[in-house]
Amino acid sequence: MNDCQAIEFLHSPLGGAAVVIGAVLTVAGLLVWARRPGAPGRSTVVLSASALGVCVAGLNLVLDTAGVWQSCSYRPPLIVLGAMYLLLPIVFFALLLMGYRWLVEHTR
């Protein structure tokens, strides 16, 4: 199976909706987690992850427009691309930063 066949699912209404709804719900859960009282620095984690997510989305936008990065993963609808290249990286970077926070708390 090549890359384009795997991306075809995102062109379907069900595939696009699944990615967008999943990404929005995950980011919403992340925001709820950040607003909970308890551990300080949660909002900093979300803010940092959001800045990194915006950087990833900007890089994808600029380099795709310039023709440097060309892939069939840039062909789905714009809202699906926004979920894949903005919202999901925010979740990934937040999990990465939370892992580092956990590691700092559990090591000398």
Residue 96: the pLDDT is 94
Tens of each residue's pLDDT in the chain, 108 residues: 566 777 888 888 898 999 999 999 999 999 999 988 887 788 899 999 999 999 999 998 898 888 888 878 888 888 998 999 999 999 999 999 999 988 988 987
Q: Tokens in use for 81?
A: 């691309």
Rounded to whole angstroms, the Cα distance separating 62 from 53 reads 14
Left if phi > 0, otherwise alpha if psi is -120 to 50, otherwise beta: which for 41? left
Predicted TM-score (pTM) of the model is 0.82
Residue 41: the pLDDT is 84
Residue 75: the pLDDT is 84
Residue 2: the pLDDT is 64
Residue 4: the pLDDT is 77
Residue 1: the pLDDT is 54
Residue 9: the pLDDT is 83
DSSP 13-53: HHHHHHHHHHHHHHHHHHHHHHHSSSSTTHHHHHHHHHHHH
